[in-house]
């Protein structure tokens, strides 16, 4: 039977830790950097110890599982981190996370059975979905820590999870040589960190009691637009992959995934900056300090735009060498594609930074039509451009999706600030 917490008896919000934006960014960047390096290591291990085809199969499994996992994700971390008034206890968020995660896994299992050929590929898709599910629960714990400005603990978890997961994958891939065995080890590493560190740290000082089924419904209604947004963002990433696999095969999809992974260099920094600034931006907006809100937002935007330009220059100068070293010698031929990908990445970084500002203002529903339009544009572009321009068509589709996001986010922020400034 669910316990109910009277409104007058709600436990006080945990006090935010004393920290600076610079310190939070340093820790968040370190955590995201190690995590991104781990993602790179996963792709590199599949390429070096497996094959381009195995890498493509892993990319396809992610493409099938990720959109469903992102819908079930609901971006509850952002909803929790920006709930600065403590409207709902942590227990309500955790119960909702576990419920929708279970539903998401069921959906992924159904898709695996319907879309994949052979038990090995079906098992791979399901196990990849399980790993994504464990990350979703960890992410909710990060939201509780983020609301308390405990970004160091978040970073420690991300670094530990990355190191353990990659080590487990490398050992399994070396011993078994099978894709499903490798992704099983990868998921096991993530689950181990969730149980041993994330849940105890995230729940520390938080109330695990439930305040009733209505609270879960309220959170779900608030978060559903963000879940749909995450699904559309995932589709933006994966729609070109569907087209490439359809028109060009698994090996070329593996090469595309390897090259596109370099966009994560800048997105790691953009996400670190956005995550470390989210709670502060939310407080500035809630307390009507709009000048400070604008200042932090435009500083983030300027930083990530410059980062994107620097990435394109580095790709032009040493991209071939890096591709050869990280993957295989034959991947160096994709250096021009890497330069184009980093140009598209510059637009995606700006979209990421503006997205954190919109979410910090707790503008959730308005993002839904924007990202739906972005995903639709990416899908149409992928289907039209990949057959004509090959892998470059996939990059162009990603650039178009990011540009649509930027225009829409600027329009949403402008309107929200105008309304907030004139409201009593």
* Interval 177-193: pLDDT, tens: 888 889 999 999 999 99
**Whether pLDDT at 231 is above 80:** yes
Burial class (CB in 10 A: 0-12, 13-18, 19+), 220: middle
pTM score of the predicted model: 0.73
- Residue pair 28/107 in contact by the 8 Å Cβ criterion: no
pLDDT at 9: 37
- Residue pair 253/245 in contact by the 8 Å Cβ criterion: yes
**Whether pLDDT at 205 is above 80:** no
Domain that holds residue 237: 15-422
Q: Which of 19-23, 70-74, 376-380 has the lowest mean pLDDT?
A: 19-23
What number is the average pLDDT over the span 359-369? 84
Quick check: is 10 in a domain?
Answer: no
Quick check: is 349 in a domain?
Answer: yes
What number is the average pLDDT over the span 412-422? 86
Quick check: is 3 in a domain?
Answer: no
Quick check: is 5 in a domain?
Answer: no
- Residue pair 233/371 in contact by the 8 Å Cβ criterion: yes
- Residue pair 45/169 in contact by the 8 Å Cβ criterion: yes
At 208, phi and psi to the nearest 5?
-95, 0
DSSP 328: -
Quick check: is 345 in a domain?
Answer: yes
**Whether pLDDT at 380 is above 80:** yes
Which of these, 121, 127, 119, 114, lies nearest to 69 by C-alpha position? 127
**Whether pLDDT at 165 is above 50:** yes
- Residue pair 139/73 in contact by the 8 Å Cβ criterion: yes
How far is C-alpha 355 from the geometric centre of its chain's CA atoms?
Answer: 12
Which own/partner contact pairs does 165-169 have at CB distance under 8 Å and 24+ positions apart? 165/38, 165/42, 165/189, 165/190, 165/193, 166/38, 166/41, 166/42, 166/45, 169/42, 169/45
DSSP 177: -
CB atoms under 10 Å from CB of 324, counted, come to 15
Q: pLDDT tens digits, residue range 277-307?
A: 887 888 888 888 888 999 999 999 988 888 8
Q: pLDDT tens digits, residue range 100-155?
A: 999 999 999 999 988 777 788 899 999 999 999 999 999 999 988 888 778 888 89
pLDDT at 2: 34
Q: pLDDT tens digits, residue range 302-342?
A: 888 888 889 899 999 999 999 998 888 888 999 999 999 99
pLDDT at 191: 95
pLDDT at 10: 41
- Number of domains the chain is built from: 1
Q: pLDDT tens digits, residue range 2-45?
A: 333 333 334 444 544 545 667 777 887 788 788 888 888 898 89
Quickly state the pLDDT bin for 227 (edges 50, 70, 90): confident
Quick check: is 6 in a domain?
Answer: no
Q: Sort residue 423 into left (φ over 0), alpha (ψ -120 to 50) or beta.
A: beta
Quick check: is 140 in a domain?
Answer: yes
**Whether pLDDT at 424 is above 50:** yes
Q: Round the average pLDDT of the chain to a whole number and report it.
A: 86
What number is the average pLDDT over the span 68-85? 83
Quick check: is 405 in a domain?
Answer: yes
- Residue pair 260/341 in contact by the 8 Å Cβ criterion: yes
């Amino acid at each position: 039977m669910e316990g109910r917490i009277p409104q007058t008896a709600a436990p006080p919000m945990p006090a935010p830790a004393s920290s600076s934006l610079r310190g939070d960014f340093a820790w968040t960047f370190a955590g995201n950097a190690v995590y991104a390096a781990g993602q790179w290591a996963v792709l590199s291990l599949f390429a070096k110890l497996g094959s381009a085809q195995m890498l493509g199969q892993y990319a396809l499994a992610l493409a099938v599982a990720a959109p469903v996992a992102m819908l079930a994700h609901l971006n509850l971390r952002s909803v929790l981190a920006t709930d600065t008034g403590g409207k709902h206890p942590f227990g309500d968020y955790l119960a909702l996370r576990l419920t929708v995660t279970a539903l998401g896994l069921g959906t992924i299992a159904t898709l695996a059975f319907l879309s994949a050929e052979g038990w090995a590929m079906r098992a791979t898709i399901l196990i990849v979905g399980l790993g994504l599910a464990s990350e979703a629960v960890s992410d909710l714990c990060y939201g509780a820590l983020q609301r308390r400005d405990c970004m160091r603990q978040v970073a420690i978890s991300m670094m530990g999870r990355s190191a353990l997961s990659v080590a487990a994958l490398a050992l399994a891939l070396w011993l078994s040589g099978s894709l499903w065995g490798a992704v099983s080890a990868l998921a096991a590493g993530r689950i181990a960190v969730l149980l041993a560190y994330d849940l105890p740290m995230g729940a520390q000082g938080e109330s695990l009691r439930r305040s009733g089924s209505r609270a879960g419904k309220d959170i779900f209604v608030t978060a559903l637009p963000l879940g749909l947004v995450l699904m559309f963002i995932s589709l933006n990433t994966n729609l070109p992959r569907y087209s490439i696999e359809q028109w060009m095969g698994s090996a070329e999809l593996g090469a595309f995934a390897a090259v596109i992974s370099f966009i994560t260099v800048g997105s790691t920094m953009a996400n670190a900056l956005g995550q470390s600034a989210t709670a502060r931006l939310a407080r500035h907006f809630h307390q009507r300090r709009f000048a400070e809100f604008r200042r932090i937002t435009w500083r983030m935007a300027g930083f990530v735009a410059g980062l994107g330009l620097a990435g394109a220059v580095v790709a032009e100068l040493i991209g071939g060498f890096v591709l050869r070293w990280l993957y295989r010698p034959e991947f160096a031929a994709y250096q021009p594609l890497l330069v184009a990908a980093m140009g598209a990445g510059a637009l995606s970084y700006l979209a990421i930074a503006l997205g954190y500002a919109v979410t910090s203002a707790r503008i959730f529903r308005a993002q839904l039509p924007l990202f739906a339009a972005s995903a639709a544009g990416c899908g149409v572009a992928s289907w039209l451009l990949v057959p004509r321009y090959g892998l470059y068509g996939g990059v162009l589709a990603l650039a178009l999706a990011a540009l649509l996001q930027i225009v829409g986010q600027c329009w949403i922020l402008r309107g929200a600030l105008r309304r907030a400034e004139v409201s009593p």
